[in-house]
Amino acid sequence: MTASLIFAMVAAVLAGTGARDQLIVARLSGHFGGSRPVLATGLACTALSAAAMAWAGWRVETMISDSAEAMLVAFALAAAAFELFWPIKLAPAREPTRSLAALALVLLARQLGDGARFCIFAIAAATSSPQLTALGGALGGGAALAMGWSLGQALERRLPLRGIRIAIGSVTLIVALVIGLTVRGIV
């Protein structure tokens, strides 16, 4: 069962690198000089979204057969790969808000459809361990956000985020294909 925690943590930190939520937190951190409330809000949203997706993955898994479960995992990973491949174009905010409630809404909206949360969904469905998956997802997603927060606006200059996301998306897609083809009896 600890495998679900480790897999979710690694998947969330990798898929969260260069994600929209990380970029938003990094830009706000750079603009407001490392605002701790921005980080705290981001971490709270990450924990909430990880818990929601882990619960959803587990809940759907309890309603379907084992072969359908494996296909669900493959589809969730393929969705994660698709999101990782999608180019991110965030326009710089002209007047970034200091409203933590507005930030929380934006982060939750971004997180509930991103690659890291699709991976958390898939891991919870595959392992039937929503609590450990949620914890691992929250830790990994929190680490990715904390990295963005600490680097601030230098994040986009220091790391080749597009290349990292394409590489992680490629691996995720290969895993999805292997799982899907294995279920179909082709591999």
pLDDT value of position 99: 83
Residue 79 has pLDDT above 70, yes or no: yes
Cα angle vertex 102, ends 97, 104, to 5°?
120
pLDDT value of position 172: 97
Q: Which amino acid is present at 170? A: S
pLDDT value of position 35: 82
Kindly report whether the global pTM for this prediction surpasses the value 0.75. yes
pLDDT value of position 144: 97
For residue 1, CA distances in Å to 31, 116, 137 come to: 41, 20, 14
Mean predicted confidence (pLDDT) in 163-170: 96
